[in-house]
Structure 1
Amino acid sequence: MTKSNPLVSIIKTLQGIGHRMVERIWRLGAGARLFFLTIVYSGESFKRFHLTMREIYSTGVMSLLIIIVSAFFVGMVLALQGYNTLQKYGSSEAIGVLVSLSLVRELGPVVTALLFAGRAGTAITAEIGLMKTTEQLSAMEMMAVNPIARVVAPRFWAGVISMPILATLFSMVGILGGYIVAVPLIGVDEGAFWSQMQASVDFQSDIVNGIIKSLVFGVACTMIALFEGFDAPPTAEGVSRATTRTVVISSLTVLGLDFVLTSFMLVI
């Protein structure tokens, strides 16, 4: 029985690592190129804004149910857990501050982006992957129709427009859910709940920063979904793997960007 050469094993391991690194760098460059082309050809898509409106309905309006239901329960859980903690320190009336700041600053943009990636992002990837599998994109190019302007740009701007609206709605419904638990059920003073929330939530440092986060998350999640659809192998298994990658990469990207943006916003 022959022994394997340790040097050969090390070389194969390094070769595999290098191959994966090159592949990741290539995918990053290809994604940046797709983003650049999307911006360049956005003018053509704006001339047919009805396409963007149709995609806003598909990605935004059709995501309302999961956003509203999730926000309501998140707000209720926040109020319940927050009250359980704050009452130990005699600060139960600050529950409105805890719920509102948690939702506006972090949970609203982040959870909305994660839900958007799971619902709308996978749909975008699967749709474009199917168009690639059935050679619809190639047919567009043969008919001198730019698939970037016709397919990608409307979906991109639909995601960018929908995300801040969904995140704002998430925060509003979450605050309502927290109010229902804190005031009618637990018995926190209603005036203290609203007055402390209004005194603590700042428009620029809280609301505007939350909207900026949701815009960045909208760009990231939508572009990842679009790129994975374009990069998917033209098979059923390839499209399935692409939709899975959309959720995984989008989720990790959102969490990473949230840390970076939060750090930057706290510094400035």
Structure 2
Amino acid sequence: MSSESSAQEPPARPAALWGFVDAVFAAPLDGLDELGSTILLFARAMTWLVRPPFRLAQLLTAIEFIGAGSMFICGLVGAFTGMAFTVSTIVGFRQFSAEGMVGGVVALALARELAPVLAAVVVTARAGSTMASELGNMRVTEQIDAITTMGVSPIQYLVLPRILATTLVLPLLALAFGIAGMAGAYLVAVVWQAIDPGIFFDKMRQFLQWSDIRMLYVKATVFGLVVSTICCKKGFFASGGARGVGEATAKAVVSSIVAIFAADYLVTTVMTDL
């Protein structure tokens, strides 16, 4: 019996090896699968962009929810961001007696990085999570299957309007974020710290170029596409009842935020001449 048991022991090593290999490569392969399915959903949605019927009512509803509903939050977060960044900038520049440059530095930082990135994060937290949960609830309650049964494409009816609305609205929200941020910077620098307003605006005009405004719009547009596609994908393919919808929503928010910062680096690298 001992000889038979010893003869059966060696196959355990290949099994353990394959288990280790599976554990190592499971996460990258799952990530590639998620990326591929997300790109495929986006491509399928874009094929409906020029094919009737056009869902204008759904598009306007999504624009109202994402744009009007997020405007106040973006402005509030932008104002506090500008105020906090201005305080830190003044503390640093005061060591070199260069407080007058704060207007230009804050404007440049808001236009190139803070406004598009943080506006996208705000939209992800508010609208992206809602998109994922709505589509997830429709999936687990078989509403999406019912739409398909009626001969209507759920991607055209549910996904495309949300992607278009986020892509159109997010640049405007980022611009509002930047304006609110500069208003907060003005309050801290000019009203509180008594920096000359003429110097404040002069440095802002000197530092800020049209290329920086263009970068804000490009980044916000890219972020809108990325966030809406990821959130729609997570919700559209949710499963497992209420728990599955909650997990899909959480994954949508986390994945979108990571994708925002990754896309931010790529767009900055492409549009910046070092």
Contact 1:221/1:250 (8 A) holds in 2:
yes
Q: TM-score, normalised by structure 2?
A: 0.92
Partners of 1:254 and 1:10 lie apart in 2 by 36
> Which of 3, 12, 25 is matched with 2:32 structurally?
25
Q: TM-score, normalised by structure 1?
A: 0.94
> Which of 62, 69, 72 is matched with 1:65 structurally?
72
> Which of 232, 235, 239 is matched with 2:241 structurally?
235
In the TM superposition, residue 79 of structure 1 has moved relative to its aligned partner by 1.1
Number of aligned residue pairs = 266
Q: What secondary structure, in the 3-state scheme, does the structure 2 residue paired with 1:58 have?
A: helix
Provide the residue aligned with 2:43 in structure 1: 36
Matches within 5 A, 1:249-264: 249-264=255-270
Provide the residue aligned with 1:153 in structure 2: 160
Matches within 5 A, 1:71-110: 71-110=78-117
Contact 1:45/1:153 (8 A) holds in 2:
no
Matches within 5 A, 1:69-218: 69-203=76-210, 205-218=211-224
Q: Which ranges in structure 2 are unaligned for 5 or more consecutive residues? A: 1-5
In the TM superposition, residue 8 of structure 1 has moved relative to its aligned partner by 3.3
Partners of 2:26 and 2:254 lie apart in 1 by 21
In the TM superposition, residue 59 of structure 1 has moved relative to its aligned partner by 1.4
Q: Which ranges in structure 1 are unaligned for 5 or more consecutive residues? A: none
In the TM superposition, residue 148 of structure 1 has moved relative to its aligned partner by 1.0
Partners of 2:219 and 2:161 lie apart in 1 by 21
In the TM superposition, residue 132 of structure 1 has moved relative to its aligned partner by 0.5
Between structure 1 and structure 2, the one with the greater Rg is 2
In the TM superposition, residue 44 of structure 1 has moved relative to its aligned partner by 4.4
Question: 1:207 and 1:141, CA in 2 relative to 1: closer, same or farther beyond 3 A?
Answer: same
Give the letter aligned to residue 199 of structure 1: Q
Provide the residue aligned with 1:225 in structure 2: 231
Percentage of matched positions with identical amino acids: 29
Deviations 1:161-213 (A, max 9, x none): 1110100000000000000110011100000001110122101x200011101
Partners of 2:137 and 2:93 lie apart in 1 by 51
Partners of 2:33 and 2:82 lie apart in 1 by 41
Give the letter aligned to residue 88 of structure 2: Q
Between 1:61-70 and 1:102-111, the stretch displaced more is 61-70
In the TM superposition, residue 7 of structure 1 has moved relative to its aligned partner by 4.6
Partners of 2:86 and 2:60 lie apart in 1 by 36
Q: What secondary structure, in the 3-state scheme, does the structure 2 residue paired with 1:238 have?
A: helix
Partners of 1:16 and 1:78 lie apart in 2 by 43
In the TM superposition, residue 46 of structure 1 has moved relative to its aligned partner by 7.2
Quote the RMSD (CA, aligned, Å): 1.8
Partners of 2:51 and 2:26 lie apart in 1 by 38
Deviations 1:129-168 (A, max 9, x none): 0010111110011110111111111111011011101000
Deviations 1:24-71 (A, max 9, x none): 322222111111111111234773312101101111211122211110
Partners of 2:40 and 2:117 lie apart in 1 by 26
